[in-house]
Copies of this chain bind each other. A is one copy, B any other.
Amino acid sequence: MSLVKEFNDYREKMNDVILEKENKTLKRFFSLDHQAYAEGALPVKTKELMGLVASMVLRCDDCIKYHLGTCYEIGVTTEELYEVFSIANLVGGSICIPHTRRAAEYWEELKSS
């Protein structure tokens, strides 16, 4: 499961480098970013799918990988996932197709792990 491990390791290592600089605004922003996806009036699953679709239309591969990882953990199915992909592609256009390819590859790795 190399793509997944590589992503998570790099992410963790660099977050440490960033947070140890003790910039208060950045620290609070990172913490707020997690808080936004917590269970609330909307369930965690809906929020993760929203995080994923937002990452896809903004075309950020690393953000996509992060949300794919969480989606996998909470049991999103492949059929559901591809409906997210279809909305992202319709809203964001064919410019999202290359990101969809990399997302599909990462999802296969998550499933085969």
Inter-chain contacts of A36 with B (CB < 8 A): 25, 83, 86-87, 90
Q: Assign chain A's interface to a size class.
A: 35 or more
A14 near B82 with CB under 8 A, answer no
A29 near B80 with CB under 8 A, answer no
Complex Cα distance, B102 from A79, in Å, reads: 33
Inter-chain contacts of A26 with B (CB < 8 A): 82, 85-86, 89, 100
Inter-chain contacts of A41 with B (CB < 8 A): 77, 79-80, 83
A 20-56 binary contact with B (CB < 8 Å = 1; else 0): 0101111011101101110011100011011101110
Residue of B25, B57, B93, B100 touching A96 (CB-CB under 8 A): B93
Q: Which residues of A contact B (CB under 8 A)?
A: 10-11, 14-15, 17-18, 21, 23-26, 28-30, 32-33, 35-37, 40-42, 46-47, 49-51, 53-55, 57-63, 77-80, 82-98, 100-102, 104-105, 108
